[in-house]
Amino acid sequence: MMQPRPQFQEVMRLARHQAPALLLFSLLTNVLLLASTVYMLQIYDRVLSSGSIDTLLWLTLAVIGAIAVYGLLEHARRMMLGHISQWLDDQLSVPVIERAMEARLAGSSLEAGLKDVGDLRGFIAGDGILTFLDAPWTPVFLAFMWFLHPALGVLGLAGAVLLFCCALANDFLTRRKGQEAAAGLRRSQAAVGQYIDGAETLCSLGMSEPALLRWEQNQQSLTDLQSRIFQRTTVIGSLSRSLRLALQVAVLGLGAYFVLRRELTGGSMIAASILLSRALAPIERSIGAWRSLVNARTARQNLIKLFAATASMQNTGVTLPRPQGRLKLENLHYYAPGTSQALLNGIGFGVEPGQTCGVIGSSGSGKTTLCRLIVGTMRPSLGHVRLDGAEVWNWPSDQLGQHIGYLPQQIELFPGTIAENISRLRDEVDSEAVIAAAQLAGIHEMILRLPNGYRTEVGPHGVKISRGQRQRIALARALFGDPPLIVLDEPNTGLDGEGEVALFNVLQQLKERGRTVVVVTHQTNLLRTADHVVFLRDGSVSMFGPRDEVLGALAGQPKRIPVPAAIRDKIAAFAPANLKAVE
């Protein structure tokens, strides 16, 4: 069984445990950067005045050693950040995909995804975080300048404040626009994926040019927004670089003034210039790194919202035994997300093991929503869906999926082989179970005729197979593992005569095996195996009972029960007088 996924806050808390070591390394590397300053100071003030070769030699060796240690510490710091970023990616990628799937099923509009994980990883593994790790040590360099001369310290402090104001201005002018650009880029990438996946529809209907034109217009707006952000950042960056150069000149000029007044040595003047460069470098670099910081901050907020929104969807607890398939719906209500519109209203009925329940109704009556609630992909707004007495929503999804066979209305086959799709993408394919499911679905011979049999690749970039073949492969996937509850939403869509016969045989065999089956259909010929029929109308159960009674009432009393003409005509063929002949 899959282990519980870590929470985002827990992952970040564990990552922050590395902060003390990083801060210590940052302190040591920045202190070692003072070595070149001290070296310059000693060269000008002692070696040149004393002419001592020995002093020059040992001083040079000491500084080279300090620089070597600095290089090792800097390498260790970067390696540590690289490992942290990789660890974050490993810990968050799968949970984020899982949470994003849950949020999508719940109808949430959250846009968090792997891009946010990538933004976090890129910030931590890149130079951006190093800039902000070095920034707190700026006061150390300024204090050293103050030690050389108070006026130089004041000048350095004033320069640091001015550059920091530039960084704040950059954040103020670009934060909101940067968030808009990030959201727009995410939507643009999603649209490209949809266009590529729907290439067949776009090209066959002559929609490719209008679709690309629409995307190009949106992309142009996004490019203009990014251009404005880039211009603002560039202006502020150029201003900050000019300011830093001006401060370099100012500190040299002020230092020379104090040298002339014999308040400062020549070595101290050069050292002050180097110290100012070291002090201002993190602040100046932060302007260029601010974009990655904003992206990382936005990604963190998105992930916090994603994990908070899906926290209640995470189910933990004991492993429940395999159910017999006793299905019970109690006062079931479901409202469209963010609205008070009831898609299902007061649904209540039960299906015992070995029984088949047919669900009929016009389009929009709530049949597909009912299926999704039964299999646990959606949570009821009110009421209960119970499987052997246990609330379906309280089952961990990886456990519940082993006991449910679900054929959705929209068929998706995922990248992989036919065998892997039928086995529900298990790590190890159980050949016997796969073949048993294919034989039950009546597609074993069909699969053997494909180019590579069960090893035939399907999915977005696999072998093109017909809609009917996809439908029957998905049916075999629903039957894999002989689940006690099978929910089929329009299972005969796209099937030919052979497929219809095979489907009917499947329904017959499931009844003989004592499985609980819920079948949603517009074609009442599938109801020949049904024990009960539910007739949905506007999200409510208009009628529920034995098949013959419900179909007879719907076909024989059209004036009392408003039934769409198309459905009434199909039901009439299966009124009780005709059902015996069919059976």
Average pLDDT over residues 512-527: 86
Residue 293 one-letter amino acid: L
92 or 560, higher pLDDT:
92
Residue 559: band (very low, low, confident or very high) from pLDDT cuts 50, 70, 90? very low
**What's the confidence (pLDDT) of residue 583?**
38
Task: Return the top range by mean pLDDT from 109-113, 354-358, 496-500.
Answer: 354-358
Residue 478: band (very low, low, confident or very high) from pLDDT cuts 50, 70, 90? very high
**What's the confidence (pLDDT) of residue 582?**
34
236, 291 contact by CB (below 8 A) = no
Q: Does residue 567 carry a pLDDT above 60? A: no
Contacts of 235 (CB under 8 A, 6+ apart): none
Average pLDDT along the chain = 81
268, 42 contact by CB (below 8 A) = no
**What's the rounded Cα separation, in Å, for the pair 561 and 555?**
9
Residue 486: band (very low, low, confident or very high) from pLDDT cuts 50, 70, 90? very high
Q: How many CB atoms lie within 10 A of CB 478?
A: 23
Q: Does residue 521 carry a pLDDT above 80? A: yes
Q: Does residue 351 carry a pLDDT above 80? A: yes
280-318 burial: b if 16+ Cβ within 10 Å, else e: bbbbbbbbbbbbbbbbbbbbbebbebbbebbeeebbeee
Q: Does residue 576 carry a pLDDT above 50? A: no
Task: Return the top range by mean pLDDT from 227-241, 272-286, 323-337.
Answer: 323-337
178 or 92, higher pLDDT:
92
Picking from 246-250, 373-377, 561-565, which range would have the lowest pLDDT averaged per residue?
561-565
Residue 200: band (very low, low, confident or very high) from pLDDT cuts 50, 70, 90? low
365, 538 contact by CB (below 8 A) = yes
Picking from 12-26, 73-87, 103-117, 306-320, which range would have the lowest pLDDT averaged per residue?
306-320
SS3 563: coil
**What's the rounded Cα separation, in Å, for the pair 482 and 122?**
45
Q: How many CB atoms lie within 10 A of CB 201?
A: 12
Q: Does residue 2 carry a pLDDT above 60? A: no
Tell me how far apart the 2 most distant CA atoms of the chain are, in Å.
122
Closest CA to 279 of 129, 128, 149, 155: 155
- DSSP assignment of 243-255: HHHHHHHHHHHHH
Task: Return the top range by mean pLDDT from 45-54, 166-175, 339-348.
Answer: 339-348
**What's the rounded Cα separation, in Å, for the pair 127 and 289?**
8
- DSSP assignment of 423-491: TTT-SS--HHHHHHHHHHHT-HHHHHTSTTGGG-EESTTS----HHHHHHHHHHHHHTT--SEEEEEST
Picking from 275-279, 293-297, 350-354, which range would have the lowest pLDDT averaged per residue?
293-297
Per-residue pLDDT tens digits for 420-477:
888 988 878 888 999 999 999 889 989 998 888 888 888 655 567 788 888 889 999 9
Give the 3-state secondary structure of 217-245: HHHHHHHHHHHHHHHHHHHHHHHHHHHHH
Residue 556: band (very low, low, confident or very high) from pLDDT cuts 50, 70, 90? low
47 or 533, higher pLDDT:
533
Count CA within 13 A, CB hemisphere, residue 21.
Answer: 13
**What's the confidence (pLDDT) of residue 311?**
61
Residue 53: band (very low, low, confident or very high) from pLDDT cuts 50, 70, 90? confident
Share of the chain above pLDDT 70, in %: 89
Q: Does residue 287 carry a pLDDT above 80? A: no
Bridge-based pairing state of the strands 516-520 and 356-361:
parallel
Task: Return the top range by mean pLDDT from 14-23, 69-78, 195-204, 557-566.
Answer: 69-78
**What's the confidence (pLDDT) of residue 378?**
82
Average pLDDT over residues 135-160: 87
Average pLDDT over residues 220-235: 84
Average pLDDT over residues 26-48: 81
Backbone angles phi, psi at 185, to 5 degrees: -65, -40
SS3 184: helix
Residue 301: band (very low, low, confident or very high) from pLDDT cuts 50, 70, 90? confident
Which tokens go with 546? 């034995």
Q: Does residue 108 carry a pLDDT above 70? A: no
Q: Does residue 314 carry a pLDDT above 70? A: no
Closest CA to 18 of 74, 87, 93, 72: 87
Burial of 461 (0-12, 13-18, 19+ CB in 10 A): exposed
Residue 356: band (very low, low, confident or very high) from pLDDT cuts 50, 70, 90? very high
Q: Does residue 517 carry a pLDDT above 90? A: yes
**What's the rounded Cα separation, in Å, for the pair 267 and 259?**
10
Task: Return the top range by mean pLDDT from 259-263, 486-490, 547-551.
Answer: 486-490
Count CA within 13 A, CB hemisphere, residue 94.
Answer: 8
SS3 265: coil
**What's the rounded Cα separation, in Å, for the pair 431 and 420?**
10
Q: Does residue 323 carry a pLDDT above 80? A: yes
Share of the chain above pLDDT 90, in %: 9
Average pLDDT over residues 302-323: 69
- DSSP assignment of 87-132: HHHHHHHHHHHHHHHHHHHTT------HHHHHHHHHHHHSHHHHHH
Average pLDDT over residues 121-140: 83
- DSSP assignment of 379-435: --SEEEEEETTEEGGGS-HHHHGGGEEEE-SS----SEEHHHHHTTT-SS--HHHHH
